[in-house]
Structure 1
Amino acid sequence: MVGEGVMHECLQHPAVEAVLLINRKPSGFSHPKLKEIVHTDFYNFSAIENQLAGYNACFFCLGVSSVGMSEQEYYRVTYTLTLHVASTLSRLNPEMTFCYVSGAGTDSSEKGRFRWARVKGKTENELTRLPFKQVFNFRPGFIKPTRYLKNANKYYQYIGWLFPLGRALYPSGFCTMEELGKAMINSARQGYEKPILEGTDIIELARRQPVSGIRESFT
């Protein structure tokens, strides 16, 4: 859901020149700005490395729930895979902005009670040490999906009515898919004051207009 929603915002945004989508299977999407690579092994990008250079930003939206997964498999998918992709991209694109979709409650100390939060925290911490231009870790909570997109989780249709109430009572825990996508785009265009963005930071950054003199287009 997040990957599709962020892609949608990028394709609609006038400052985005081109989007490269890397998937394990064809997405079925078509757009003049969009190029897609179907690649099944995200632990080995050697076969497609020559197509990954020249990009200003990576919006990394891949992720899984820890429910029902062994500790080793969750670590492999969440930490090992993410760091492999990020390490490859930092080598090919040292001026790249890397945006990682983490999650509310992530544990930066890596010592907390919840396994998933520790692994996410370790992933965030290691990403910030890579030689990117800048790294931003996004920690959304409840995300209201964009209407008419096909990959919205079905449970949102049953609890979507909670969004206005949750946003009013606890704005840091509730953002829209549009806000998340626009915030990621704006982070690549103009940066942000801190590397970890909670819900209120996402909302704030999504609303910002570019400052004068900033590069107006990117890929």
Structure 2
Amino acid sequence: MKVIVFGATGMVGQGVLRECLLDPGITQVLVVGRSSTGRTDAKLREIVVPNVGDLSGIEGELTGLDACFFCVGVSSAGMSEEAYRRVTYDLAVSVATTLVKTSPQMTFVFVSGGSTDSTEKGPTMWARVKGATENAILALPFAASYAVRPGFIQPLHGITSKTKLYRILYAVLAPFTPLLAAIVPDMVTNTERVGRAMIRLAREGADKRVLENKDLDALGRLERVPSIPKV
């Protein structure tokens, strides 16, 4: 598979990128973002753009792709709904709209979040915006598209969050992660399993288009094996 990753410098994106580079069934990984990941690999290529929401200048580079892993995300803390919608809905839908033109045969996997509101009418602002984003992306004519809703994600393999508050939170919770996983196993996963699950979605598909944390975690626990991409 030839894949493209957005948000590869964030915590989830770092995990997805790592798994893509390790997966023998993925031959090329294109990363697009505002800054470089700093990684080097024979099958990795990066394009740094000033505005991820405007890919018009690189559309020629976005053809022949089998999958997109959209991992861009920001905390809604302190943001108005308008501002949060701009960096969540507007950005994701702009990227997806470009890719459905350049590589309509691809599978698009959007990283959402647990408790996202598909009705777009609930009381929680970020959940409404995420729900609207999911709905818009799933309505686009890709060969396949999915929204994944991870819960608490344990960072592995030296991966860290770009958000200082989250780094502190993960550091504090790290000793309690096994206990948390034992108490609420359906709400806990890790960066490795999220990455593996998203790759498996792109390669094999699933019987549902919105996957909650327990679905994602179960999918990510399966063995990493090379297989022939969907036709």
Deviation of 1:107 (Å): 0.3
Partner of residue 199, structure 1: 213
Q: How far apart, CA to CA, are the structure 2 residues paired with 1:209 and 1:193?
A: 19
Deviation of 1:206 (Å): 1.4
Counterpart of 1:122, as a letter, is A
In the TM superposition, what are the counterparts of 1:179-218 in structure 2 within 5 Å? 179-208=193-222, 215=228
Partner of residue 175, structure 2: 161
What is the number of equivalent residue pairs in this alignment? 217
2:85 is aligned with 1:75: yes
Deviation of 1:209 (Å): 5.3
Q: How far apart, CA to CA, are the structure 2 residues paired with 1:4 and 1:48?
A: 23
Deviation of 1:164 (Å): 1.1
**145-154 or 107-116: which moved more?**
145-154
Deviation of 1:154 (Å): 2.0
Match of 2:94 among 64, 84, 103: 84
SS where residue 47 of structure 1 aligns?
helix
Q: How far apart, CA to CA, are the structure 1 residues paired with 2:69 and 2:229?
A: 18
Counterpart of 1:77, as a letter, is V
Deviations 1:71-120, CA, capped at 9 Å, x for gaps: 21101111011000001001111111111110001001111110100000
SS where residue 15 of structure 2 aligns?
helix
Gaps of 5+ in 1: none
Match of 1:172 among 182, 186, 205: 186
Deviation of 1:26 (Å): 2.1
2:58 is aligned with 1:48: yes
Q: How far apart, CA to CA, are the structure 1 residues paired with 2:190 and 2:183?
A: 15
**164-173 or 7-16: which moved more?**
164-173
2:144 is aligned with 1:144: no
TM-score (norm 1): 0.93
Partner of residue 8, structure 1: 18
RMSD: 2.0
Could you tell me whether the CA contact under 8 Å between 1:4 and 1:151 is conserved in 2? no
SS where residue 57 of structure 2 aligns?
coil
In the TM superposition, what are the counterparts of 1:84-163 in structure 2 within 5 Å? 84-149=94-159, 151=161, 153-155=166-168, 156-163=170-177
Q: Percent identity over the alignment?
A: 45
SS where residue 198 of structure 2 aligns?
helix
Could you tell me whether the CA contact under 8 Å between 1:190 and 1:211 is conserved in 2? no
Deviations 1:156-208, CA, capped at 9 Å, x for gaps: 12211222112112122100110000000000110011011111101221134
Deviation of 1:22 (Å): 0.6
Deviations 1:46-76, CA, capped at 9 Å, x for gaps: 1111001111000000011111112211011
C-alpha change, 1:147 and 1:195, in structure 2 (3 Å) is same
